[in-house]
Amino acid sequence: MALAALFCATPVAAQESPRIAERTAQTDIPLEGPRGAVRLPQVTLAITVAPEGRSISGRAVMTVQPTEQLEQLQFDLAPRFTIDAVYVGEQSVDRSDYANPDGLLTIDLPQAIPAGEPVEVTIGWSGQPHEAVNPPWDGGIVWAETPEGQPWIATAIQGEGCDMFWPCIDHSSVRIGTLDLLISVPTPLVAAANGRLVWSHEVDENTVWHWQARDPNNYGVTLQIAPYEVAERDYESRFGNTIPLRFWHLTGNEEGANRLLGEMADQITFMEERFGPYPFGDEKAGVAETPHLGMEHQTINAYGNRFRPESNGHDWLLQHEFAHEWFANQLTHASINHMWLHEGITTWTQPLYLEWARGEMLYDAEMWRQRQRVWSRVPLVPPEGELPDYNDREARWGDDIYFKGSWIMHTLRYLVGDEALFPAITMLTYGTHDPEPGNLAPVSRTTEDFRQILQDSTGRDLEWFFDAYFYQAEMPRLDVMQDGDMLTLRWHTPSRLPFAMPVEVRIGDEVRTVAMADGHGRIELDWPSQPYLVDPRNRILRYDADVEAWQNRDPAQ
């Protein structure tokens, strides 16, 4: 389609912003009907951004491949947008044959599409997208200004999904084969986006930026717009490929951006050594300075931590979002119920990186800081069909996917050892034990996938571990009872399975291990009043009354 045709829609004028629709506010609504019966091998999105009206307009040209015969197509799109046109192939769809009253855009097809037969579908839309209230946690589009008063725009849609600003199938398991993203912004603004830059051209008073990405996940498709400058360097990988490192930053932040590119190079060295190759080295490792804190957009992570130095020598936000290139963008959860795979493993990479870069003390210090934010009031993996609420401050699931997930990985490290755990994570992430650049494709995973892979790696049945930590709300509790010189240890969990977590006990200068095969065990002291310490290296995630009391303290006191 010609460039002029792609940008034929006119942005609407500014108007009062309606409330976000219920369906649009929730990502990963189960795939049912036509939404679950299509593949998207190629999508072209041409989006015009009008900062003065806080509006966008666009054309989506999608190659749709049905997996079964379809008489309808369905896409997710916020109902606040006006649908300007719908085409199936070259045929215009009459206005009476499509509707989007609640955010489920349903198109009655002129004729049924057979299974496996690709068809080109074009959707034009325009309007004012929902403005983020507290990005990135309560998301949408951020309309801000630089210190010089120029437009500074970002998208942050993790919890809400891609339908916040473009027609898509809003589910974590859906990938686009190839995405061409053409973003038109007023000159001299720069649009930084996913993948590799194909070209940029001035069209009238706008500049069009053409980006192309392979296999993007939907919520990672992003617009980052500002009068950016670019800091750049290249990284020579241990795998023999060269990775372009790019940082789009505001004027005056060149020194900080170059410093963080150096940190990113170190982080690649660590991540590739521990887990495997950077998954998108054929495109770039990119960062864009944003007016909100940050988010993991594939190959163009959002960074808003203001280049502040830290006592441990690295920028935690840069490291966290960059680790998501492995655990979110290469490995993607099959549904939001398994979001801990993104956030928990990524959060664990922070103490791991500190251990690698600065030593064991910083690993332990970071793990203890994280332990204080484990709440465990609801299951970490909710039942299928039950959509969790990230922002529920009572349930605290939005904390646990980070910090409980990280502590579970810490405990697994103790249980199975590095020699089993890290190869299992590589298999989980790439689908192979021997990943190589140029031969990588993203994978979609569940918590049960992880269990099966880890069981294959260890040769052990770990259902008891996964049931207690992922599917039960209450953390395991360890009772320790003494009778004379005999200690009896007993685990308690809501699980139907005995919690067979071995427990270390330090007696004098010796650390002994109690097997706990059926959830309880015994160990003898040398004399009844001999001091002892259970779990002396704090390796096991378990209920801690002191942590709970601290969490429940009155903040006014």
Domain-wise residue ranges, the chain: 3-227, 232-460, 477-551
- The predicted structure's pLDDT at residue 250: 98
Residue carrying structure tokens 């349903």: 106
Distance CA 337, CA 332 (A): 12
CA distances from 414 to 3, 400, 422, 493 (A): 57, 20, 12, 19
CATH number given to 3-227: 2.60.40.1730
What tokens were used for 207? Answer: 């500049």
- The predicted structure's pLDDT at residue 385: 84
Single-letter amino acid, residue 334: A
- The predicted structure's pLDDT at residue 3: 45
- The predicted structure's pLDDT at residue 18: 62
CATH number given to 477-551: 2.60.40
What tokens were used for 512? Answer: 């002994």
Architecture of domain 232-460: Orthogonal Bundle (1.10)
Distance CA 153, CA 340 (A): 28
DSSP character for 446? -
Q: Tell me if 107 sits within 8 A of 86, measured CB to CB.
A: yes
The candidate with the shortest Cα–Cα distance to 179, out of 329, 27, 347, is: 329
Distance CA 151, CA 191 (A): 11
pTM: 0.95
Check if 3-227 and 477-551 are the same fold.
yes
Residue 324 marked as a ligand binder: yes
Q: Dihedral (C-alpha) 88, 94, 97, 100: value to the nearest 10 degrees? A: 90
pLDDT tens-place values along the chain, 557 residues long: 444 445 544 443 434 456 789 999 999 999 999 999 999 999 999 999 999 999 999 999 999 999 999 999 999 999 999 999 999 999 999 999 999 999 999 999 999 999 999 999 999 999 999 999 999 989 999 999 999 999 999 999 988 999 999 999 999 999 999 999 999 999 999 999 999 999 999 999 999 999 999 999 999 999 999 999 999 999 999 999 999 999 999 999 999 999 999 999 999 999 999 999 999 999 999 999 999 999 999 999 999 999 998 899 889 999 999 999 999 999 999 999 999 999 999 999 999 999 999 999 999 999 999 999 999 999 999 998 899 999 999 999 999 999 999 999 999 999 999 999 999 999 999 999 999 999 999 999 999 999 999 999 999 999 999 999 999 999 999 999 999 999 999 999 999 999 999 999 999 999 999 999 999 999 999 999 999 999 999 999 999 999 999 999 987 76
Q: Which residues of 507-540 are buried (b: 16+ CB within 10 A; e: fewer)?
A: beeeeeebebeebbbebebeeeeeebebeeebbb
CB contact set of 3 (below 8 Å; sequence gap of 6+): 182, 201, 203, 208
CB contact set of 220 (below 8 Å; sequence gap of 6+): 194, 296, 297, 298, 328, 329
